[in-house]
């Protein structure tokens, strides 16, 4: 994707505003802001529902002789002006992430630290939440050498195991919190990409699948084997997706991240280059559901192809034992499935892998000349069609189809369900 950064900082992000927020965060009314520098923190196309701004500050306080330097990140949504707000608003994402940073994540952090005895961070600490401006200010963990892995090269086994370990802690802490505070996730945590209430993403998903069908015209073998199945999927994708996120009796359910892929994970490394911690960001689609949807989404979008195609069962087992141990430590009293039952649950949610690998993943790894936007994925005009075809007709994505389509098809995931 193009790495341009032309979005502007909010007009209300002034020295006076930042100074007031820092005084509250630092619990110091004598803090005085001396310098404020603002610049974009993410490139266009990296996040379709928000803008990230890096805030560099220099300040003084009565109890310190020297000027202090600090850096924070401000995340602002598009709730008031963005042309796609109508699509995203009904998913509740504008209030959900604010709720997560203000009400949920601090409690999960306490559970992870005090009961799982893991002193490593699981996410960035919240500096300030501003519901009036749909914004969140939090610590900039790049200062602690956290960085995002390459979304195109994806993650090897070492990184994958670390993410699964941290996901298990996140899921266990969420289950424990729900058990201790019944109803805490009842409001606004029922609307992931597939749900029973809204289908705002339906035209986007259909348009991308149609682009896939057109791309299959470039390969006689793929066209003969899969085009009819993809064409049928266009009209059924939402129904199948909703089934994959419905609960079955005996399912283990918890707070799922909902959008766990390479760009929403940051890694910290030791001096030898090995990842020692992973934190999660972007909780707009966090949802009360099966943890299997996080696993399918992560496997389909973020790990090396050989791991995705050949080692998923082993990775689910690795995650499962980490989850069971974490649930034991937080004294979870609900039903904990056996490994056999959890593998069945994972397979029952497997259509999520179709959605993630055929619809979202090609967009995530696209690095061509066209500039992706939600508007273009919705548009039926020539420009929108050209973008969607460009996404699928990169050399890398065309090669990947020869692996992904047979993998999904052998599981029966491209047939009528």
Asked if residue 405 belongs to a domain, the reply is yes
- Do 71 and 188 belong together in one domain? no
Cα(117)–Cα(111) distance, integer angstroms:
8
Q: Find out whether 194 and 242 touch, Cβ atoms under 8 Å.
A: yes
**Residue 34: DSSP 8-state:** E
Q: How many H helices and E strands in the chain?
A: 17, 10
CA distances from 76 to 10, 49, 95, 106, 182 (A): 8, 9, 12, 20, 30
Name the domain boundary from 77, 93, 108: 77
pTM of the model: 0.91
Asked if residue 417 belongs to a domain, the reply is no
Q: At 76, is the pLDDT very low, low, confident or very high (cuts 50, 70, 90)?
A: confident
Asked if residue 139 belongs to a domain, the reply is no
Asked if residue 234 belongs to a domain, the reply is yes
Q: What is the mean pLDDT of the chain?
A: 91
- Do 62 and 88 belong together in one domain? no
Asked if residue 266 belongs to a domain, the reply is yes
Asked if residue 141 belongs to a domain, the reply is no
Paired tokens of 271: 């001096």
Asked if residue 130 belongs to a domain, the reply is no
- Do 167 and 257 belong together in one domain? yes
**Residue 361, domain CATH:** 3.90.1200
Highest-pLDDT range among 9-18, 337-346, 377-386:
337-346
Q: Is the pLDDT of residue 46 over 50?
A: no
Asked if residue 345 belongs to a domain, the reply is yes
- Do 85 and 69 belong together in one domain? no
- Do 247 and 390 belong together in one domain? yes
- Give residue 372's pLDDT: 80
Name the domain boundary from 77, 98, 133: 77
- Do 197 and 319 belong together in one domain? yes
Please state the domain count of the chain: 2
- Do 72 and 109 belong together in one domain? no
Query: What is the mean predicted confidence (pLDDT) over 82-106?
Result: 84
Q: Is the pLDDT of residue 42 over 80?
A: no
Name the domain boundary from 77, 108, 136: 77
Which domain, by its residues, includes 7? 1-77
pLDDT tens readout for residues 57-66: 999 988 777 8
SS3 414: coil
């Amino acid at each position: 994707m193009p790495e341009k950064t032309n979005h502007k900082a909010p007009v209300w992000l002034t020295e006076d505003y930042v100074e007031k927020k820092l005084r509250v965060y630092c619990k110091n009314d004598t803090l005085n802001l001396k310098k404020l520098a603002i610049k974009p923190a993410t490139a266009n196309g990296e996040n379709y529902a928000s803008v990230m701004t890096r805030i560099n500050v220099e300040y003084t306080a009565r109890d310190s002789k020297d000027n202090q330097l600090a850096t924070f990140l401000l995340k602002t949504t598009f709730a008031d002006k963005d042309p796609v707000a109508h699509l995203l608003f009904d998913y509740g994402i504008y209030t959900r992430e604010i709720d997560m940073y203000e009400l949920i994540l601090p409690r999960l952090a306490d559970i992870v630290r005090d009961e799982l005895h893991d002193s490593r961070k699981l996410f960035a600490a919240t500096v300030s939440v501003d519901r009036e401006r749909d914004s969140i200010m939090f610590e900039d963990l790049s200062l602690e050498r956290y960085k995002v892995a390459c979304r195109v090269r994806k993650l090897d086994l070492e990184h994958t195991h670390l993410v699964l370990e941290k996901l298990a802690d996140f899921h266990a802490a969420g289950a424990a919190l729900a058990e201790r505070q019944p109803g805490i996730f009842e409001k606004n945590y029922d609307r992931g990409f597939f749900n029973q209430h809204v289908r705002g993403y339906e035209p986007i998903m259909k348009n991308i699948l149609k682009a896939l069908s057109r791309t299959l015209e470039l390969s006689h073998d793929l066209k003969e084997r899969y085009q009819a199945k993809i064409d049928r999927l266009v009209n059924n994708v939402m129904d199948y997706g909703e089934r994959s996120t419905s609960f079955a009796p005996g399912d283990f359910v918890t707070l799922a991240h909902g959008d766990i892929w390479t760009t929403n994970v940051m890694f910290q490394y030791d001096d030898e280059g090995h990842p020692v911690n992973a934190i999660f960001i972007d909780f707009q689609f966090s949802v009360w559901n099966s943890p299997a949807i996080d696993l399918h989404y992560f496997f389909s979008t973020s790990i090396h192809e050989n791991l995705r195609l050949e080692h998923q069962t082993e990775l689910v087992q690795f995650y499962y034992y980490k989850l069971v141990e974490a649930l034991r430590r937080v004294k979870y009293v609900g039903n904990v499935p056996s490994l056999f039952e959890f593998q069945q649950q994972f397979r029952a949610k497997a259509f999520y892998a179709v959605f993630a690998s055929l619809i979202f993943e090609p967009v995530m790894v696209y690095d061509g000349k066209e500039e992706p936007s939600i508007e273009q994925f919705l548009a039926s005009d020539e420009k929108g069609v050209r973008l969607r075809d460009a996404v699928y007709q990169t050399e890398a994505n065309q090669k990947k189809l020869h692996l992904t389509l047979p993998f999904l098809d052998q599981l029966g995931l491209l047939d009528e369900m």
